[in-house]
Amino acid sequence: MAKIAFISTNKSAWGGSEYLWFQTAIRCSVSGHKVVAGVPRWKSLPGELDLLKQNDVDLYFTTDVSGSKKLLNRLMPSGKQFSYNDDGYKFLTKFSPDLTIINQGGNWGGIDLMEFCKRSGLKYVTISQAANEAKWPDDKSSLKLCTGLRNAEMNFYVSHANIILTELQSAGTIKNAKVVFNPFNVSYDSNPDYPVTSNGFRMANVARHEFFPKGQDILFQVLNEKKWRERNLLVSLYGKGEHSGSVKRLKDHFHLDNVKIEGHISPEEIWKTNHALILASRYEGLPLALVEAMLCGRVPVVTSVSGNPEVVSDNENGFLAKAATPEFLDEAMERAWNRKEDWKEMGIIAGKSIREKVPKDPIAYMCDEISAILTSENINTLQ
């Protein structure tokens, strides 16, 4: 059996970008492989880490630094202090994995770990969960990214658009790239009844409360317009995040009675009462909320960013805003509103089309990809 290491490089917090590697690590361990995982010591440690331990996955914290090194650095003059970059990865050389899985919340947060693996003679693959047109690596990082991706056994992305943007940001073609899929939180065969419309229409904004990526400010500007205030439409926000307080304050600033803030609710419960999805994202990977809404037969109204247009065909199974601006989001919402009586049928089409794109078991799909890499290296495949 193989030895596999899974490393998360997302230093901010546990979030949706962690579940693909996390569930794959457990699946590999249950299958009999020796698995270790490394994560930053986040301020709030999620309960999922206990599940790793319960499934015989050894856990390491990659941001821990020895107390003696910290003390010595306080005494050393500036510019001569010890580097901490590799300290959290030293367990990898001792474990000597057959393959290291580098998970990134974006598309270049793992470049230092890529370099470490290369120097240490460790084979690795990368997972990129998003790509941002507004955040580019500097010259040095761009070159490191290009080299790191070329040295990888494979680079996995959650959308083709993210591959293309990463090629631009690294100024190189990524020949060893494939698209994989995140696990979703609804049944693949989910088919909730379409809500009645006699009391009006409801749209759900299912996204963490973080203005720049998720664009709640854009959505609020549209809903502040007189025509939307006068329509029988309620938009409910589901989720939370670092801007939860500011989201409420901005809602109150605009006096948006047509907006309701709900917090966290299970996706299947969301789609029992909502007719459509609305996302004003400025950038994405492939939003899990979009996949889940379509699996539940709900029509999406989303911005044409990242992986969204790879699953949404404008005016067929959903509506695409040309860009993440109030003007373009309003235009897409207006087209959707004019066809609101078609939402049920369009949702049925959305459900069929997403099942043609996304596998029933994304974790099994990921395990198959890892197996192919391990097989090419004459290592026992995942069972």
193 within a domain of the structure (yes/no): no
What pLDDT shows up at residue 19? 96
Q: Is residue 108 part of a domain?
A: yes
Shared domain for 289 and 261, answered yes or no, is: yes
Domain shared by 140 and 95, yes or no: yes
pLDDT in tens, 58-77: 999 998 875 555 555 555 56
Same domain, 367 and 341: no
Angle value at C-alpha 333, between 329 and 336, nearest 5 degrees = 145
One domain, residues 76 and 207? no
Say what percent of the chain tops pLDDT 70. 92
Smallest CA-to-CA distance from 88 within 68, 108, 116, 109 is with 116
175 contact partners, CB below 8 Å, separation of at least 6 = none
Whether residue 176 is found in the same domain as residue 296: no
Q: 268 lies in a domain?
A: yes
Side by side, which strands form the sheet with 233-238?
Answer: 259-263, 233-238, 201-206, 276-279, 299-303, 319-321
The answer to whether position 160 is within a domain reads yes
Strand locations in 71-136 (E): 99-104, 124-128
The predicted pLDDT at position 67 comes to 53
* Cα(117)–Cα(198) distance, integer angstroms: 59
Same domain, 51 and 169: yes
pLDDT at position 63, please?
A: 87
Assess if residue 249 is contained within a domain.
yes
% of the chain surpassing 90 pLDDT? 88
Q: What are phi and psi of 315, to 5 degrees?
A: 70, 5
247 and 372 both lie in a single domain: no
381 domain-assigned: no
Do both 245 and 116 map to the same domain? no
pLDDT class of 259 with cuts at 50, 70, 90: very high
Number of domains in the chain: 2
- The 10s digit of each residue's pLDDT in 177-199 is 999 999 999 999 999 999 999 99
The answer to whether residue 352 scores a pLDDT higher than 70 is: yes
Is residue 188 in some structural domain? no
pTM over 0.85: yes
What pLDDT is stored for residue 313 in this prediction?
A: 98
Q: What is the CA radius of gyration of the chain?
A: 22
The string of pLDDT tens digits covering residues 77-124 is 666 555 556 778 999 999 999 999 999 999 999 999 999 999 999 999
Instruction: Kindly report, residue by residue over 138-175, the tens digit of the pLDDT.
Output: 999 999 999 999 999 999 999 999 999 999 999 999 99
- Structural domain includes residue 88: yes
Q: Please report the pLDDT score of residue 383 as a whole number.
A: 36
CB 124 within 8 A of CB 101: yes
pLDDT at 13 over 60: yes
Say whether both 366 and 346 belong to one domain. Answer: no
Mean local confidence (pLDDT), 8-29: 94
Identify whether residues 212 and 164 lie together within a single domain: no
CB 340 within 8 A of CB 285: no
Q: Are residues 370 and 339 in the same domain?
A: no
* Greater model confidence, 73 or 52: 52
pLDDT, tens digit, for every residue of 279-330? 999 999 999 999 999 999 999 999 999 999 999 999 999 999 999 999 999 9
Return the number of other C-beta atoms located less than 10 Å from residue 263's C-beta. 10
Segments forming the whole domain that contains residue 231: 201-355
For residues 6 and 77, which has the higher predicted lDDT (pLDDT)?
A: 6
pLDDT above 60 for 205? yes
The stretch 35-55 carries a mean pLDDT of: 94
Q: Using the Cα atoms of residue 347, residue 349, residue 352 and residue 353 in order, give the sign of their dihedral.
A: negative
CB–CB of 156/101 below 8 Å?
no
Q: Domain containing 328 — which CATH number? A: 3.40.50.2000
Q: Are residues 308 and 365 in the same domain?
A: no
